[in-house]
Structure 1
Amino acid sequence: MTSTPDAAIAASPATPRQRLAPADLARFSLVLAIVVLALSTPGFLSRPSLIALINAMSLVGCVALAMTFITLGGNIMSFSLGATTSVAGIVFMATLGLGLLPAIVVAIVAGVVISAAQGAVIGWLRANPIIVSMAAYALLIGATQMIVGPKVDAPNLAYEVLKQRLFGVPASFLVLAAMAVLGQLVLTFTRFGHELMLVGSNARAAEAAGLDVGRVTTAAYMVAGAFSAVAGILVASRFGSADMQTARGFEFTAIAAVLVGGTAIGGGKGSLWQTFIGVAVMATINAVTLLRGFSIEIQQLVVGLAVLGVIVFQGIGRRT
């Protein structure tokens, strides 16, 4: 009897109650250590420090949420999300003369199209996702600089509304929180969310059960493109201009937040809530090291060690 997608989704086993896995214990210990270190850091709880913290979360957070969809689908990560974010910011600034809402829509559509093309190649042609993202990164950098030049400035101040605060909270952080809630609702309550988890857990088994892996993968990249575009809009609005350097390196911080948050690097396990926590942890690490006078190199070293530790403990967990 041939399995159907509905049967595959319905038959997916519930996660049994288990003891705390090594990777979970490592993440819990890391978060606890960061909280203790942050609370003991002079100036961390000051208003300017906290505002700077949530601003940092807002700028890279949407890219991390985007990366979560790609990782959950079993495609590890994308090196082109930072470039996609920059392109979306450029498109937003270039079309702002049409009005704020049209510029937002056009920028999001640009992000969706860029990422959907990559998802289609990966999903239907079974191309290596890392190689595809590296090629897309190079194409985006080269083509965008040839077409629009090194920088695009805002033609008006319509973007200023995205820099406002509501009850003292930056609008960009509220956007990040809303995107996290929306994304988690999609993962939890939609057919696409269940299919994405199945494909990430075992793409061959999902395909044998009747799921269209190419369609699911392309859809995941489309969502990731939309989330990255929102990040590009927020970054461009903060600086009042956009270029291909504005989101440089965002993809590395994003994958760090995804892994520290607990999403399995092999896909099929994780959530946007966990990524949101991972973003907070990464932003706190940077804030604490900065307040304690450490150099950027030390900040990068600490982030690298945190990610490496999570990966190692994930590997230990799979072998036990």
Structure 2
Amino acid sequence: MLSARVVSFSPADPLAGLEVGDAPSPTPPDGWTTVDVRASSLNHHDLWSLRGVGLRAEQLPMVLGTDAAGVTEDGREVVVHAVVGGPDGRGVPADEPRTLLSERYPGTLAEQVAVPAWNVVDKPAELTWVEAACVPTAYLTAYRMLFRSGAAQPGQRVLVQGAGGGVAVAAVQLGAAAGLEVVVTGRDAGKRERALALGAAQAVEPGTRVGRVDVVIETVGKATWEHSVRSVRPGGRIVVAGLTSGDPEPASLTKVFFQEISIVGATMGTRDELAQVLAFLARTGVRPVVDSTFPLARAADALARLHAGSHVGKIVLEM
């Protein structure tokens, strides 16, 4: 089968370790199923894997990818939950730690992927293959950050740091649809305009004073951390799911404890939450923002676009 794999690590030039070509078809163990992939979206996790983060040399070659929508062996149209194992997982040993596809098991940038049968949920008919493939990482993470980790309520103010990333775009859409007042920061004027078109109430340059917010959605890290701490109200929450600009220095701990700010970590979401966000999209009419699509054979071009950072929304491979 055709796949996109990491075959060597290159921290400075991640695409140097990419190979697009034939790989063995999956042979699922008992309790697992094979999904014929129709579409798979890219994430920064793929670039980290190419750099060698989360993988060891002895695991190579490893098929990249965490997100997929496709058809099971019995003909079900499904979306794949990328988290294998952990307290929410089934189909693996009970003591197996939580991992993402492409870390311990081959990922989704391939014509087929094997996953525990527990890890598939029905694809809503309202979503296309491409739209459904965007959900398992970015939209699931944004959903969890807003409504579980952030406990955001309709009418509250939410600050989303970074206007163009997949999680940030998803948070704008989901938050606006749920009645939140969403404020977005972004360096690029075009991305700020796009955020306003997607439902943001305000879109400003990074560091701009925005008044107090109830919840901050933080995926940038060092470049926006001080602004996040300054902007959240006393007793509010900063929900962290990434640090694309690195660890913050300093951490502004004096403000954190003096103003009793809660800092909450979030990674992906549960299988049930994946079903919930899919239903949310189907019922509200909100659809994932797709930046571009590529055939699987052009995975290198798609990953290069992700690496360049000029995209808005999700980059998707179609099989």
Q: Place the TM-score, normalised by the shorter chain, in its bin.
A: under 0.3
Normalization by structure 1: what TM-score? Answer: 0.26
Structure with a larger share of its residues in helix: 1
Normalization by structure 2: what TM-score? Answer: 0.26
